[in-house]
Structure 1
Amino acid sequence: MVQEVVLGIDIGGSLTKIGLVTQAGTIVTKTVFKTEAQKPFPDFMKKLKLEVDNLISNSGPDIKILSVGVGAPNANPYTGQIENPPNLKWGPATPISKSIEQAFEFHVSLANDANAAALGEMLYGAAKGMKNFVTLTLGTGLGSGLIVDGKLVIGQHGVAGELGHVNVDPYGRKCNCGLHGCLETYASVTGIKRTVFELISNMREDSPLRSLSFEELTGTAISDAALSGDVIALRAFERTGEILGSKMADTVAHLDPEAFILSGGLSKAGEILLNPVKTSMENHLFNAYKGKISVLLSKATSADAVLGPAALAWTALERTTVI
């Protein structure tokens, strides 16, 4: 019996993950390879073609690929390009959709990686059954995806939902985007590292974090320290949660979502992050929203990254089959 699948491709600055996924969200087979983003884009396409061909050949004769979904940083679904990506050294505009369509002869659905992840949460993850929610990926930066009435919001120019770049403080921390005081400079793994170093300079308490350089300090180290009761780490999570929660309250005023779904390295701290986030959000909410908005942790792991692009492909296929 033939098994129908889509090919999900998640392109990251360090790793690219590919997998064959059924409509029910079962990952039939998957693999990961280094993006090597510092090399020219044609080199990446050669590697991608090789890895996909190997994946298909090893999956057996009863697999039928229907379409391809691609999630990538700074991907614009209107132009089919990756535009000005900070961590991919492929130039200002990379024709990713056209290149993949030519390589594999399948239709390609493209989205920003965080937007693709939001669709994955709706079809297969913590937001299953929801129609209005926001995903926040708290990694090196802060990615986000908006789902309204069961549809992904991409905006007029294909870049809606960049909540990592809403302003916390116009005179605040310098962001890689060129602005000052962006939310992701506070609410991300990089952001909490900066907060820890500020606290180390202002607090006298002993902490194992004092012995680590900025490069050595990781989100896991901060989480572990907080779980062990470290005062500086706990204060760092409190401050991060206060800032993130206040900006989530602003987003509630715009969208009235059912829930926020948190994922990424910083979310691994669990309740240590969730508690100050929820408290701050509730404190900043307009009365009409109080007590109505859930804050949840994603169930997805890094190994599930192909589910977002796969959800994108399946959603596009459903649209084309509706009369």
Structure 2
Amino acid sequence: MTKPPLTLYLAAPRGFCAGVDRAIKIVDMALEKWGAPVYVRHEIVHNKYVVDDLRAKGAVFVEELEECPDDRPVIFSAHGVPKSVPAEATKREMLYVDATCPLVSKVHIEAERHASNGLQIIMIGHDGHPETVGTMGQLPEGEVLLVETVEDVAEVEVRDPQKLAFVTQTTLSVDDTADIVAALQTRFPAIVGPHKEDICYATTNRQEAVKAMAQKAEAMLVVGAPNSSNSKRLVEVGARAGCSYAQLVQRATDIDWRALGDIKTMGITAGASAPEVLINEVIDAFRDRFDVTVEVVETAQENVEFKVPRVLRVPA
């Protein structure tokens, strides 16, 4: 039987970013250097496949430091941690490696710099997301106020409207964040912004590729985890850019074929913590059902690489 033709648009860039790549490498190198088990506080990155793979190699994932023994190495996830976490690890004389993405660390440093200049911080982010918890935890309680929406900006109560700065979570929707920043600047004209945008290059690049792809594709799948902020934003960006069907899938088995019907064009991308193997799995699932022609939609090229911490680069 002849398979129906399908043009499959593949976004570029997609999938792993430099911060995720580095974080996974840190766990692999720690296992190599110190042997199993190595403890990891929170999922190293938000992807079940990646976490399960590292767990099979001997990584033990926990939510809190108190679940870790004193005598085994512990790694802090790419999302960053409150200051209290490394302080507690030091107090317990634990060997720890910080896998916080350098672009998240940049936001931490920014927040501290603003605070040292006497400014109260407003953070644009998602309540309860580990990156937001980590950034807010760089300063004493009350020094960082959280807003999630334009509506929140109208409600936020600040100490002094003349002494404010804002930072953002690195994985937000560029367009949504621009609206919130505009609302902040309207309500607090003196508010100080970051030198360079906090939303990371990888988040921005992936969203731009989705916007370009949405013009061509009838439907779009984003490969990523349901707890991955940047993956969920890609779905929203795709829908807003005109793609009538934009869905998040973790694996090829999650594809709702009935909903896709007899489509002729399909877009595929992946969040920054989704490995290429899962993207290929989805493409193969389409090849099983359609006569697929792949076209890459490239809007940027990435060649960023972050070094792993020195403790992993020196012999044991």
Do the two structures share a fold, i.e. TM-score over 0.5? no
Higher RCO (CA 8 Å, separation ≥ 6 residues): 2
